């Protein structure tokens, strides 16, 4: 008896979609907020990242570069040397973007170091990244790393070659929008000039060793939830071809469920109260979320006694999730956590927040706003690379429009959130959930309408609150 997927499944899919959108939207919001560029080229940056990863993942399929490769997925000595060189130059380029030679000598660290130490550390780091990339060819992770460093180095060039010039002319936001449109044209069709119109995909070894066996990360596991008279039963199973193997059945009684929920709420509330008023990395809301989630996980494991799938459940629904999708979500969380740490706990982050609040004041107070601007573009590039490569892997087809299709949901998320990093994260999940739940809940709506659903939400919010959900200033 197969259980139908329902609202819960759409929600889970929506969270994964929201994670991808958020990864893109964070960079978009940072640049929009601090550099004041509504960057239309952001979607094409994702595309650029996805195609760049092909150089490592499938070197034989890249025009011109294929001359250096010795097989469809092998690089010869020359190809390896090329990838190594590009990675090293990219890492050094990222640092150079932060402030030229002085940055390479450690000038951006915030502490005084002899130039030789700064140069040495950056050099070693660059060599290590280059080595990692070349050693890992053609693995997916190596490709991801390569794309990340290349975009981290090239995306800030958009600022220094184009947008800074326009900003110096003191143009309106509309002009920035149009200039970024031209950059988008150059980027997108530049990629197409090299790669042509063929659809591409990554080749990834999908089975990874896991708990003694091997786990295919792209294969979906099905989580069937049954509501019965005596409680909730969760049955996890895997389908291969026609047969479906039951992996685990967990049963919870109503009392256990109630207790877990109550304790989780209590712990969350206590954590919130305890952290209230601090500006530390883990603020009240984050603490509450951690506490509550911890209790739910702990309770779920403790009370997860064996159960059996009921014959006539009151309600049954199925959620499909592959380890890959879960991984995307977790990776997004980790990256957001990293960014959160950067913004809250480092000097650079403080400078970024100050610049976002009031650029002139920040400049007067001695903040190097140019460095802040460049770091924003670098972060935007790093996040775009991750989002683009993940998107290419998740959809397993890479086309020239890959990123552009995501641009509108990203913008919707950013505007919903009122152009701030945290707002963009919330907005992206709202958009992602709206897209998936909208397609599921409204009968007769085909998948073509994903983007329109996101936009209808945006329009409705703007009608009520023209400055976005969390915006106000």
Query: Where on the chain is the footprint of other proteins (CB under 8 A)?
Result: 38, 162, 165-166, 169, 171-175, 177-179, 181-186, 188-190, 192-194, 196-197, 408, 411-412, 415, 446, 448-449, 451-452, 455-456, 458-459, 462-463, 466
Q: Least separation, in Å, of the C-beta of 79 and other proteins?
A: 19
Q: Least separation, in Å, of the C-beta of 462 and other proteins?
A: 6
Beta carbon nearer to other proteins, 178 or 331? 178
Q: How many CA atoms lie within 13 A of 154 on its CB side?
A: 20
- CA separation for the pair 393, 401 (Å, rounded): 15
- CA separation for the pair 264, 291 (Å, rounded): 7
Task: Give CA torsion, residues 447, 452, 458, 461, to 10 deg.
Answer: -90
Q: Least separation, in Å, of the C-beta of 42 and other proteins?
A: 12
- CA separation for the pair 360, 375 (Å, rounded): 18
Beta carbon nearer to other proteins, 165 or 365? 165
Q: What is the DSSP letter of 305?
A: B
Q: What is the DSSP letter of 2?
A: P
Beta carbon nearer to other proteins, 165 or 274? 165
Strand ranges (E), 73-130: 74-75
Beta carbon nearer to other proteins, 171 or 282? 171
Q: Give the residue carrying structure tokens 């080749």.
A: 203
Q: Least separation, in Å, of the C-beta of 181 and other proteins?
A: 6
Beta carbon nearer to other proteins, 237 or 356? 356
Q: Largest alpha-carbon pair distance within the chain?
A: 73
Beta carbon nearer to other proteins, 303 or 405? 405
CA distances for 31 relative to 40, 406, 420, angstroms: 11, 17, 10
- Are 378 and 39 a contacting pair, CB within 8 Å? no
Beta carbon nearer to other proteins, 134 or 179? 179
Q: Give the residue carrying structure tokens 């685990």.
A: 248
Q: Which residues pair with 250 in a beta bridge?
A: 234
- CA separation for the pair 453, 18 (Å, rounded): 14
CB atoms within 10 A of CB 9: 21
Q: Least separation, in Å, of the C-beta of 402 and other proteins?
A: 15
Encoded tokens for 101? 């030679």
- CA separation for the pair 426, 449 (Å, rounded): 22
Beta carbon nearer to other proteins, 40 or 96? 40
**CB-based contacts of 107, cutoff 8 Å, min separation 6:** 99, 118
Beta carbon nearer to other proteins, 295 or 439? 439
- CA separation for the pair 87, 75 (Å, rounded): 15
Q: Least separation, in Å, of the C-beta of 45 and other proteins?
A: 14
Cis amide prior to 312 (ω within 30 degrees): no
Q: Least separation, in Å, of the C-beta of 172 and other proteins?
A: 8
Q: Least separation, in Å, of the C-beta of 237 and other proteins?
A: 34
Beta carbon nearer to other proteins, 146 or 455? 455
CA angle 345, 347, 350 (to 5 degrees): 75
Q: Least separation, in Å, of the C-beta of 405 and other proteins?
A: 9
- CA separation for the pair 440, 434 (Å, rounded): 10
Q: Least separation, in Å, of the C-beta of 390 and other proteins?
A: 23
Q: Least separation, in Å, of the C-beta of 154 and other proteins?
A: 15
Beta carbon nearer to other proteins, 131 or 452? 452
- CA separation for the pair 235, 233 (Å, rounded): 7
């Amino acid at each position: 008896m197969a259980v139908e997927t329902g609202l819960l499944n759409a929600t889970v899919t929506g969270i994964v979609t929201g994670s991808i959108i958020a990864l893109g939207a964070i960079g978009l919001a940072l640049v929009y907020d601090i550099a004041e560029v509504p960057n239309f080229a952001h979607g094409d940056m994702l595309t650029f990242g996805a195609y760049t990863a092909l150089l490592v993942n499938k070197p034989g399929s890249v025009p011109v570069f294929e001359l250096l490769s010795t097989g469809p997925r092998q690089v010869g000595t020359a190809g390896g040397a090329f990838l190594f060189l590009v990675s090293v130059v990219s890492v050094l380029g990222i640092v150079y973007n932060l402030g030229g030679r002085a940055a390479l000598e450690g000038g951006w660290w915030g502490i005084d170091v002899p130039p030789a130490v700064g140069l040495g550390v950056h050099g070693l780091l660059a060599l290590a990244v280059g080595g990692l990339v070349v050693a890992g060819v053609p693995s997916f992770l190596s490709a991801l790393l390569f794309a990340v460093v290349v975009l981290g180095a090239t995306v800030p060039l958009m600022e220094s070659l184009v947008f800074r010039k326009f900003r110096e002319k003191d143009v309106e936001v509309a002009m920035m929008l149009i200039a970024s449109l031209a950059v988008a044209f150059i980027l997108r069709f530049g990629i197409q000039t090299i790669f042509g119109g063929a659809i591409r995909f990554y080749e990834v070894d999908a089975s990874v060793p896991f708990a003694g066996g091997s786990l295919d990360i792209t294969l979906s596991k099905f989580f069937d939830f049954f509501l019965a008279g005596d409680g909730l039963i969760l049955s996890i199973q895997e389908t291969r071809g026609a047969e479906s193997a039951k992996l685990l059945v967990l049963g919870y009684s109503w009392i256990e469920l109630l207790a877990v929920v109550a304790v989780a709420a209590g712990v969350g509330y206590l954590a919130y109260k305890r952290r209230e008023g601090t500006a530390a990395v883990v603020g009240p809301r984050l603490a509450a979320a951690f506490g509550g989630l911890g209790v739910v996980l702990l309770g779920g494991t403790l009370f997860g006694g064996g159960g059996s799938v009921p014959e006539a459940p009151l309600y049954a629904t199925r959620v499909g999730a592959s380890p890959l999708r879960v991984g995307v979500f977790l990776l997004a969380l980790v990256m957001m956590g990293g960014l959160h740490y950067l913004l809250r706990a480092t000097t650079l982050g403080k400078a970024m927040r100050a610049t976002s609040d009031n650029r002139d004041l920040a400049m007067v107070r001695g903040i190097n706003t140019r460095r802040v601007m460049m770091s924003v573009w670098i972060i935007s590039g790093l996040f775009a690379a991750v989002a683009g490569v993940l998107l290419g892997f998740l959809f397993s087809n890479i086309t020239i429009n890959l990123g552009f299709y995501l641009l509108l949901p990203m913008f919707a998320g950013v505007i919903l959130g009122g152009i701030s990093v945290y707002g963009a994260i919330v907005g992206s999940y709202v958009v992602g959930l709206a897209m998936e739940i909208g397609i599921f809940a409204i009968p007769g709506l085909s998948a073509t309408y994903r983007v329109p659903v996101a936009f209808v939400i945006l329009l409705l919010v703007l009608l009520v609150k023209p400055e976005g959900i969390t915006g106000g200033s």
